[in-house]
């Protein structure tokens, strides 16, 4: 469901917003989606995903968040909290 909504918003953004704003929105939505899987660890789901072996891999591969954006979010412990993902969603 989440990935479907991201796809819906991405399609609208790419056709309705300036390209820079659309690209940033899509990057942030995709980063939030990936961070959400890592955040499952914080609610006792024993998620196999971690920041180092999941989020960082896809962030680097797809250039989702810049170094500056990662620094802004660094006060959140993604492996033990969903707040990283929640803040990213507010950026969207």
**Confidence label for 84 from pLDDT (cuts 50, 70 and 90):** very high
Looking at residue 15, what is its pLDDT? 94
The whole-chain average pLDDT of the chain stands at: 90
Tokens 């006792």 sit on residue: 44
**Confidence label for 20 from pLDDT (cuts 50, 70 and 90):** very high
CA 76 to chain centre: 13
Dihedral in degrees, nearest 10, Cα atoms 44, 48, 50, 54: -140
**Quick one: what percent of the chain has pLDDT higher than 70?**
93
Query: pLDDT tens across 40-83, in order?
Result: 877 766 668 899 999 999 999 999 999 999 999 999 999 989 99
CB-based contacts of 26: which residues, under 8 Å, 6+ apart? 6, 9, 10, 13, 14
């Amino acid at each position: 469901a989440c990935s479907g909504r991201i796809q819906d918003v991405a399609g609208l953004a790419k056709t309705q917003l300036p390209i820079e704003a659309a690209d940033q929105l899509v990057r942030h939505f995709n980063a939030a989606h990936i961070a959400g899987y890592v955040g499952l660890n914080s609610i006792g789901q024993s998620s196999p995903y971690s920041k180092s072996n999941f989020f960082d891999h896809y962030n680097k591969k797809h250039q989702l968040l810049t170094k500056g954006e990662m620094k802004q979010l660094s006060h959140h412990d993604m492996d033990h909290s969903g707040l990283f993902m929640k803040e990213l969603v507010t950026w969207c």
